Structure formats: C-alpha cells, structure tokens
Amino acid sequence: MKKRQVVVKTGKSSSSVVRNVRYFECQKNHAANIGGYAVDGCREFMAGGEEGTGSALMCAACGCHRNFHRKEVQNEVVCEYTPPIDSNA
C-alpha cells in the first residue's frame, strides 16, 4: 500500500507538520443486517485505481470503501530554524 503524505504549513511560523496517513484492516460488519458481527479479514487497504480517481477509494482486496478501513495518522513536526544574523561581526 502506498502511504499518503500531507505537509501542512502553519501561517507565519517556521514549522510544518508532516502527516503520514495509512489505512489498515477493514472493519466493515458484513452481518449487521442479520444482527451478527462478521468482518472479511482484509488486513490492509490497497487502492483499486490511480490516485485522484473514484476507484482509488475502493479497496482492491475486499471491495469496501476506504472509510471502512482503520485509519492511522502519524504527525511529525518539522521545525525550520535560521539563526539570527549577528550585526556586530
């Protein structure tokens, strides 16, 4: 599965947040209409098409929409620092 990486710059600050988003096991309850609980066993979301198309939101392994898969977001804060210029030098 391809990880999606989103970089969010915040206003005037010199830091940015890098978000790595991954989708894991499918949690769709296939037996909900009969009052039971059964999942299909899909362990990780695999996009069914190219990024930006409607089929990219459907899992190639189980056929469920990406929203049924457990989402895990890892945030990484990247601080960019520029030392002040010394005017006495």
Chain segment 51-73, per-residue pLDDT in tens: 999 999 999 999 999 999 999 99
For the chain, the helix, strand and coil percentages under 3-state DSSP, each to the nearest 5: 10, 35, 50
Would you place residue 11 in the very low, low, confident or very high pLDDT band (cuts 50, 70, 90)? low
What pLDDT is stored for residue 86 in this prediction? 73
pLDDT surpasses 60 at 3:
no
Burial class of residue 75 in the structure, from the number of CB atoms within 10 Å of its CB (0-12 exposed, 13-18 middle, 19+ buried): exposed
C-beta separation of 64 from 28 below 8 A: yes
State pTM to two decimals: 0.64
